Amino acid sequence: MSLKQQAAHGSDVNEQMGALVTNAAAVRAIASAVEGTLGPKGLDTMLVDRFGDVIITNDGVTILTRMEATHPAARMVINIAKAQEEEVGDGTTTATIMAGQMVGTGVELVARGVPVSRVIEGLRIGLRHALQSMRDAALPVDGLDDPKVGQVALVAGREHGDIADLVAKAATLVGEEKLAERNFKLADIVTAQEGAENEVFQGVIVNKQRMNRQMPDRLEEASVLVVDDALEPEEVEDEALGTELGFARYIELQDEFRSNLRKLVDLRVSLVLVDRGVSDMAEEILTDAGVMVVQRVLNKELRRAAEHTGARMIKRTGLKKPTEELAACLGRVHLVEDDEKLEQVWLRDGTGKPMATIVVGAATEEVVGERERIAKDAAGAVQAAIRGGVVPGGGATELWVAQQVERMRPSVKGMAAHGVDCVVEALKRPLAQIVANAGFNPLEKIGDAVSAQSESGRPSLGIDTDTGQVVDMLEAGVIDPTLVKTHALRAAGEIAEAILRIDTIIKKREDSQNDKGMMDNG
């Protein structure tokens, strides 16, 4: 290799290392923002915006999504954290700190001369083995009556016993079949209200009020119509209204709509939930008939109400159906209440599918958001536990899996074996951070836990954050959902590989309209 070629090669290496170091620093900064919150002794973070509004929270995904982050690598981590929250509802902090450790270890290996491709190869091998080892350590949850359900809720709910009880009860009301549905999220049924009492009830909440105070605020044994549309007459275009034929059509549609509303009154419909607006005519007729109407209901809430009451959602044209067919679209609910203080309508005990709602009370406005986040974490964890079982918590399982990955390292050929270390070090990180947050020396306590696990062959041995002694996490009731752990590990691996693969950082040119036009014409 000539001197010129050597210089060019050195320049390429320096450029690659520059990109890696820059990205690693950004990922590390993101991990640092949340690592202090991990574990039972983790502290809170204060988020302050430019207007002085403050959020105080221990919730990792809230910190990550609300913090200001401009570096592209940092935004990649935040996006993965969002995906973690969306998929399993918990574990974002663990995923973030493991990703930070994987990337940091990978950069150190590259600096020592290990090719990036070999680091990634080893990382993938280690990740596959780690995920399988973690699944092997999983314990099944034997139905909703299993005590593990309550323990998972308590751990994910940060030791808030009242919230854990609410979530466990709600899971029982919903049932295993509903919890297993891919599109259903138990966390979606959580709502927190200042001044409200803690409650779980069979039913749903609509975050709107009745249209006017002349409508009843309480209904018993109510028949329910759900309109996934506006409750208004069909429209006639302005241009057509200027013609005799168009005006006649307008009068015809008004009369038809009035007739359809009378049909609802004759069917003794008690509650009408509407996706969009309600016309003055509909409001007047239904008010006079003693019908409660709630307009502009969020589509998600509308669908849940329909499902729980057994109503079949219709469009405005559905009102033209014969009376018998329209009656078949109605649902029923035992009790409807309009709570003016909370500005909500509560539907209790519908005759459709079981549906529960968790109401978490809060003394002040400042803690409403945090109480809701805690309850949602607990709900997500319970649902994940039902779907995929549980593992010992407190970082014990990750430490056990790290040892299994270390044992298979000698079987990995060549320099890829170094890449396995990225996974090993990342798996040690949760326990290290938990004990550090509790005021203990991480190296010492990891050594104690590794020794205890190796001697006993029990993956459940970890560190008590109160005493610093080795304890059995299962006996202590510290358990986590398997799916949360495996998803966090997989997410961390995806972040690390994506960051390590970046060779060069280039600022993208903003395309102007003229440039776009030239490209289209060219």
Higher pLDDT, 287 or 511: 287
Partnered with residue 391 across adjacent β-strands are: 480
pLDDT in tens, 297-349: 999 899 999 999 999 999 989 999 999 999 999 999 999 999 888 889 999 99
Residue ranges with strand state E in 369-409: 390-392
pLDDT at 11: 46
Contact 3, 358 (CB under 8 A): no
The pLDDT of residue 12 is above 90: no
Q: Tell which CATH architecture fits domain 208-336.
A: 3-Layer(bba) Sandwich (3.50)
Higher pLDDT, 118 or 501: 118
- In the chain, where the domains are located: 11-139+390-500, 208-336
Alpha carbons 451 and 64: distance in angstroms, whole number: 35
pLDDT in tens, 351-402: 998 888 999 988 777 788 888 889 999 999 999 999 999 999 999 999 999 9
Name the packing angle between helices 280-288 and 244-266 (round to 10°). 30
Q: 11-139+390-500 adopts what CATH topology?
A: GROEL; domain 1 (1.10.560)
pLDDT at 7: 38
The pLDDT of residue 448 is above 60: yes
Contact 90, 484 (CB under 8 A): yes
Q: What integer is the mean pLDDT of 44-56? A: 81
Contacts of residue 127, Cβ cutoff 8 Å, sequence gap at least 6:
423, 489, 490, 493
Confidence of residue 511 (pLDDT cuts 50, 70, 90): low
Partnered with residue 217 across adjacent β-strands are: none
pLDDT in tens, 177-233: 889 888 888 998 898 888 778 889 999 999 999 999 999 999 999 999 999 999 998
Planar angle of CA 146, 308, 167, nearest 5 degrees: 30
pLDDT in tens, 82-101: 777 777 767 788 888 999 99
Percentage of residues of the chain with pLDDT beyond 90: 59
Alpha carbons 109 and 185: distance in angstroms, whole number: 41
pLDDT in tens, 225-277: 999 999 998 876 766 666 777 778 878 888 999 999 999 999 999 999 999 99
Q: What integer is the mean pLDDT of 160-182? A: 90
The mean of the pLDDT values for the chain is: 87
In terms of Cα–Cα distance, which of 282, 230, 280, 289 is closest to 261?
282
Q: What is the 3-state secondary structure (H, E, C) of 80-125?
A: HHHHHHHHHCCCHHHHHHHHHHHHHHHHHHHHCCCCHHHHHHHHHH
